[in-house]
Structure 1
Amino acid sequence: MLRVAGRGLDEFETTALLVPEPANRHDPNAVAVVVQHEIVGYLPRNDAVRYRALLGHLNTSGFVARVPCRIWGGTVTDHDYDRNGNLALTERFRASVTIALGEPHLCLPMNTAPQVPHVVLPQGGAIQVGGEEHHLAEIKPLLRPEGESYAYATLHEVSDSSGRAVKQLVEVRLDGNRVGQLTPKMSGELLAAIRHLDDIGYVAAARAKLKGNHLKAEVTLYCARAHELPHDWPGPLGHALPEVQTVQQVEEPPNVEGSSPAGPTAGGFHTPIPPKPTRIRFVVPPGWPPAPEGWEPPPGWLPDPSWPKAPDNWNFWVAE
């Protein structure tokens, strides 16, 4: 069990990895919950079966799911009486681990992240998209049999001259296709952020929840409004590759059999990517999202600060 500092009760939030154990002799569907390279528990059997296909897909692709996790633990004192009726105090260690995990069909987006430099707005309240009934053909390929899914949407400022006065609205697109727009009021809540990103060469993106079937569909954004963003948002940026993160982020699986060298630290300072020699291709380090085929970092490009730091002496270019 992961060590919890101190003798009193302690509670903290971290992230956990979900690692399938197909060779587990007790249950071939077992999924270990790993925190800081230590197994702190397993998914309940019923849940392990529900998430088997999703986690197997990630595992065969070389990834493992990473989810928010809360750990509670510490030494507690039990009060009881012995055979003589005297009060007896017994100290013991107790702990619990809770993870946040969406429904299996909502854990991965139905499309890839935008293939251009972009920033995904932080999670926020629901914003209903209007006019999606006119774009069912563009939405249908991203729907799921369960009746709901989520996808990356991009947000774009457009001019609406249909009324007496020209209005600036936010157009919502999925994979480059228009699927609706926001009301003037809600557009005003996001335009400042969209314009700011556009000024520095980025497209604004958001997580969109899709509901419906082949007859009707609706699109809802879940993103922070401009006034809710921190003053230093979006922070230092590189030209972001497409994200490989969803409700649950993904990263390379750890070695959970025992101690292993410390991996790269997220949020560290990156060194500039060396220039590309001839007749070779660019290779991303472990934990980075995969680059689209043929993609090369432009001059001066730096990775996103949230990605793990590249291992020492990592070879970014390999011969074709």
Structure 2
Amino acid sequence: MTDYSLGDRGTLRVITDDYYDAEILQVFEELQIDREKVWNGEARLIPEPNNPYEPNSIAVYIDDIKIGRLSPADSAEYWKPITRVVASGYDAIAHLQLSAVLRRRDGESFIESEGLLSLSPAHSLFPLNQAPTQATLLPQGPSMKVLDEKDYAEYLHSILPPSGEGRVILSLEVNALRQPDGSFIDSVEVFHDRKKVGRLSTQMSEQLAPVIRYAFERNKLTSAWGTIRGNAFELSLTVQAVRASELPAEWFEELPNNVPELLPETENFKVPESYEPTEGELNRQNLSKKKRGLVGSFSVGGGTASDSPGSVEVKSGAGVENPNRRIALLLGIVGALILIGGVFVVFAEPMLGILAIVLGASIVFLGLFMGRPPMEATSDQ
């Protein structure tokens, strides 16, 4: 499927730390105690309408490895836009930073992990306009201010959404400007739907001009994500694109346009039943709320990881009869009587009264100890 790059002007946390340890190990291949590893790259967001535990959950994949999911609240917020992308025949792509570290505590080893998606709010995932058909789209990156945008304020106000902020697709074209000394410099002009809306600085123009010419020589326009912000009195326009020196070789080979046209808006989009349980999700009903320890080398060979044998969980013995209950009750009554008697005697015979109070209190505590609920140990094999 063709990739569809989602807006990246935000950060969203991914749930990675309950049922995905084996899969995260596959990503990193090896983890060492207290030495964090970080993975950066593109992740796919796949809706799971048939998830038996969290219906309409959105899973996060690195290649074919499911490493996490969005929270129920985030899945609900992003469900409609993500299913729109998938129903249109594309993969929903966002940048992911995944970190993991092996910890050891109380004799058990376990993985701590965190996933952060670069993802715009749900209402800003898609641009307000479409990229030109014969255009290649620069990967998203840091913001570059568009200059002279005030000269085009009337038009820009006409496309500014009521919310005061929106993502747009801008086209970049190179124009050679003649200097007073007769020399020429490259200036990158910025267009929105073929209407000029500003220019980039001389420094940014110098960096991007060769890239734009490279695409033009191959019959491609160059487009980039942008953001328009403002109100009735002022506005700003920025371009979000990686620097020319950071463009991957694949971009020059493919010249992709990964913001293709989507299906029209509707209430619901039908998507495939894509739930594929991980090893942890398969055993979900048997997992305790406490994270299970993992043992072994924590390296992946052939894509497998070993679990801890026989971890023990201690549970309160609700409903289990305590054979010492009657004795404990009797001790409590006797101790209380001695304690009360000591309180009265202490005024007449201080030493005797204090001894009685101490003895009575000791007997009461002994009764409480013997009458405590029993503990039941269960083995998690």
Q: TM-score range by the shorter chain?
A: 0.5 to 0.7
Kept in 2, the 8 Å contact 1:147–1:212? The answer is: yes
> Are 1:58 and 2:93 matched, yes or no?
no
Letter in 2 for 1:92: F
Structure exhibiting the larger radius of gyration computed from Cα positions: 2
Unaligned runs of 5+ in 1: 80-88, 247-251, 260-320
Task: Report the 3-state secondary structure (helix = DSSP H, G, I; strand = E; otherwise coil) of the residue aligned with 1:55.
Answer: helix
Task: Report the 3-state secondary structure (helix = DSSP H, G, I; strand = E; otherwise coil) of the residue aligned with 1:146.
Answer: coil
Q: Give the structure with the higher percent helix.
A: 2
Once the two structures are superposed, what CA deviation does each residue of 1:225-257 show, in whole Å capped at 9, x if it has no partner? 55x35696853346x5x43379xxxxx979433
CA distance in structure 1 between the aligned counterparts of 2:250 and 2:88, rounded to whole angstroms: 32
Question: 1:131 corresponds to which residue?
Answer: 148
Question: 2:73 corresponds to which residue?
Answer: 46
Question: 2:240 corresponds to which residue?
Answer: 222
Q: 1:121 to 1:93 in 2, by over 3 A?
A: closer
Letter in 1 for 2:200: L
Q: Percent identity?
A: 23
> Are 1:97 and 2:115 matched, yes or no?
yes
Kept in 1, the 8 Å contact 2:142–2:240? The answer is: yes
Question: 1:256 corresponds to which residue?
Answer: 275
Q: With the length of structure 2 as denominator, give the TM-score of the two structures.
A: 0.51
Q: With the length of structure 1 as denominator, give the TM-score of the two structures.
A: 0.59
> Are 1:236 and 2:263 matched, yes or no?
no
Unaligned runs of 5+ in 2: 1-19, 262-270, 279-381
Q: 1:181 to 1:253 in 2, by over 3 A?
A: farther
Once the two structures are superposed, what CA deviation does each residue of 1:180-203 show, in whole Å capped at 9, x if it has no partner? 223445433433333343344332
> Are 1:145 and 2:145 matched, yes or no?
no
The counterpart of 2:226, out of the listed 189, 204, 208, is 208
Q: CA deviation at 1:93?
A: 4.3
Letter in 1 for 2:30: G
Q: Equivalent residues in 2 for 1:76-225 (5 A)?
A: 76-79=103-106, 89-116=107-134, 118-140=135-157, 142-158=159-175, 168-213=186-231, 216-225=234-243
Q: Equivalent residues in 2 for 1:253-292 (5 A)?
A: 255-257=274-276
Q: CA deviation at 1:148?
A: 1.8
RMSD across aligned positions (CA): 3.8
Q: CA deviation at 1:111?
A: 1.8
Q: CA deviation at 1:258?
A: 6.0
Q: CA deviation at 1:38?
A: 4.8
Q: 1:160 to 1:50 in 2, by over 3 A?
A: same
